[in-house]
Amino acid sequence: MRFFTCYFSDYCFLPSAFYNCPTSPFSHSSVPPFSVFRSPFSPFGELRVDQRTTSWNSRYTFSAKEKDEESGYGYFGARYYDSDLSIWLSVDPMSDKYPSLSPYNYCANNPVRLVDPNGMEFILTDYRNMKGEMLYKTDDGLKETILVPDANIPKLAEKLQTAQDNGTINDPETNKKEMHTLGQTPTEYTNRKQTGNTERDNLYKENYNKTYDGKTSFMDKIVNFFSNILSIGGAEGSDQSMINFGASVEGRQNGEADKKEGLISRTNPASTFKNNDPKIKLQKQ
């Protein structure tokens, strides 16, 4: 007779019971499993019941994370968690992204809706404008950032208000269907300037970054201009040289324009996101 260890999950993906089964858990056998122990947790990980028929214990409990044998704290990778007090034991390494929250909160005090897989950040959708300012965030578990152009911000606010009134504002399908379509992800925004020509794309990125970061002097622009002119003069590879010249000029122009208008970086949007309170304020019923 073969025995299988079966894991039955409580809410929040918490393993709550362990059984030894005399048949595969995927079969439709009527033979009941023999319980080893049952340990359901609260959403924050506090042990509610500890029922067992053996002294055997699993170190992988709340959120399937290993418990430290000496301290009894849950180890998530980036830091330790005290499930009895419902707090982390050290500051969130990503706390600068969430200035309105305590750096010791677990899942922004919403563990029923959110998941924190490694102790660094919980999973939600950020809606931001093209200046990198936070518009709104929904606890939908999708771990996504959507960049919304100014023209679509009123429509986003309207859809968010409708979703809140309907009780679906944190529903992932509603967010993907109604709100995500109003913008684009940072990767999509960055890829708009990618052509597949590696040499050209690298030159665009290099010149964009130098200009956007303010590291290009007037003399640098003159030297780059004449260097590109001389490279175009060669018969061999002149097509690529023309492409490179255009990419260098475009990169500098785009970098200068985005910097002047206060827009996010096209090559690394996340590095220019701002830590502000959400600009969209919804009305409560």
Our count of domains for the chain comes to 3
- Using 50, 70 and 90 to split pLDDT, how confident is the model at 285? low
Tokens for 197, please give them: 């020509």
SS3 assignment, position 147? strand
Yes or no: say if 140 and 175 are a contact pair by the CB < 8 Å rule: yes
Whether residue 48 sits in one domain with residue 60: yes
- The answer on pLDDT for 39 being more than 60 is yes
pTM for this model (two decimals) = 0.58
Average pLDDT over residues 240-256: 87
Mean pLDDT over residues 50-65, rounded? 66
254 — pLDDT class (breaks 50, 70, 90): very high
- The verdict on 232 and 171 lying in the same domain is no
Compare 124 and 197 and report the one with higher pLDDT: 197
For residues 161 and 149, state if they share a domain: yes
**Listed residues 22, 49, 65: the one ending a domain:** 65
Pair (185, 210) in one structural domain: no
Helices (H), the chain: 153-166, 172-174, 186-191, 198-212, 218-232, 238-261
Of 90 and 229, which is predicted with more confidence?
A: 90
pLDDT at 225: 62
Chain centroid to Cα 163, Å, comes to 22
Residues 185 and 205 in one domain: no
Percent of the chain with pLDDT over 70: 61
Q: For 154-172, write each residue's pLDDT tens digit.
A: 999 999 999 999 988 888 8
Task: Give the Cα separation of 227 and 221 in Å (integer).
Answer: 10
Tell me whether residue 168 is in a domain.
Answer: yes
Residue numbers of the domain that contains 185? 138-189
Residue 75 pLDDT exceeds 90: no
Is pLDDT larger for residue 236 or for residue 63? 63
Tokens coding 252: 């500098």
Ranges 50-64, 118-132, 157-171, 247-261: which has the least confidence: 50-64
Q: What's the mean per-residue pLDDT of the chain?
A: 76
Contact 143, 107 (CB under 8 A): no
Q: Count CB atoms within 10 A of the CB of residue 44.
A: 19
Query: Which pLDDT belongs to residue 249?
Result: 86
Q: Residue 246 falls within a domain, yes or no?
A: yes
- pLDDT-wise least confident of 9-13, 53-57, 181-185, 200-204: 9-13
- Euclidean distance between CA atoms 36 and 33, whole angstroms: 9
